[in-house]
Amino acid sequence: MKRAIVTGASGVIGGAIVRRLCADGIHVIAHSNNNPAACETLVAQIRAGNGSAETVRFDVCDSELAKQCLERLLEDGPIQIVVNNAGIHSDAVMPGMTTAQWSRVIDVSLHGFFHVTQPLLMPMIRTRWGRVISISSVAAIIGNRGQVNYAAAKAGIHGATRSLALEVASRGVTANVVAPGIIESDMSDRTFTAEAIKNLVPMQRAGKPDEVAALVGFLASEDAGYISGQVIGINGALG
């Protein structure tokens, strides 16, 4: 059974990805930092349905702690699927953005990508099969007011992923980015009215977390073995 780790699994999209990968017969390590109870509940539900999952908790910004936790997980074998989903918002227009707002968003999304992915690569490469899938945002492609920090962090992952794809292509490992637009969640409900979504999104609706998870599930599958170095939007034609 292949093993996967999904960071930020306590969120709506992360949880949907965990459920999808488990449904595909993968053992999933559901990661959280600030909301471990949500991951525990998710894993309990998956196990009740005969799925295979476990939880892990650490701050992706803490390189040493992340490395220690990942090394413990690797004692049970390589982790061949990495889904970098952890990310935060701290929105402000740039003239009013603080250094703390800039740094924390960069730390979680971009540094977290490195802190989680890098320790897992060599064990993955030795198996001659792997998938690195990072969740970005349409903001990194077309920009968004008040999200200079978030767009910069996610756009950094685009460049890193394309470079990583070149480095591991001959080893049976792929690296791709999924860039969602407006996806149904408590946050999007607070940010956008139904009318605003109709006016903004050509498909006139928000995406569903399960639709993002379906794309991730495909990229994690054998069928996606020739897709690498790509940034794939899932945004209702917004981007």
Ordered by start, the domain boundaries in the chain are: 3-232
Bin 128: left if φ > 0, else alpha if -120 < ψ < 50, else beta: left
Instruction: Assign 227 a pLDDT band (cuts: 50, 70, 90).
Output: very high
Q: How far apart are CA 33 and CA 122, in angstroms?
A: 25
Instruction: Assign 188 a pLDDT band (cuts: 50, 70, 90).
Output: confident
Tens of pLDDT, residue by residue over 119-172, are: 999 999 999 999 999 999 999 999 999 999 999 999 999 999 999 999 999 999
Class for domain 3-232, per CATH? alpha beta
Q: Residues 3, 26: contact at Cβ < 8 Å?
A: yes
Q: How far apart are CA 94 and CA 74, in angstroms?
A: 41
Q: Which among 150, 177, 197, 206 is annotated as catalytic?
A: 150
- What pLDDT shows up at residue 105? 98
Contacts of 160 (CB under 8 A, 6+ apart): 110, 113, 114
150 in catalytic set: yes
Q: Tell me phi and psi for residue 32, to 5 degrees.
A: -150, 170
Residue 239 reports pLDDT greater than 80: no
Average pLDDT, the chain: 97
Residue 124 in tokens:
């993955």
Q: How far apart are CA 144 and CA 190, in angstroms?
A: 17
Q: How far apart are CA 194 and CA 128, in angstroms?
A: 46
Instruction: Assign 190 a pLDDT band (cuts: 50, 70, 90).
Output: confident
Q: Residues 165, 176: contact at Cβ < 8 Å?
A: yes
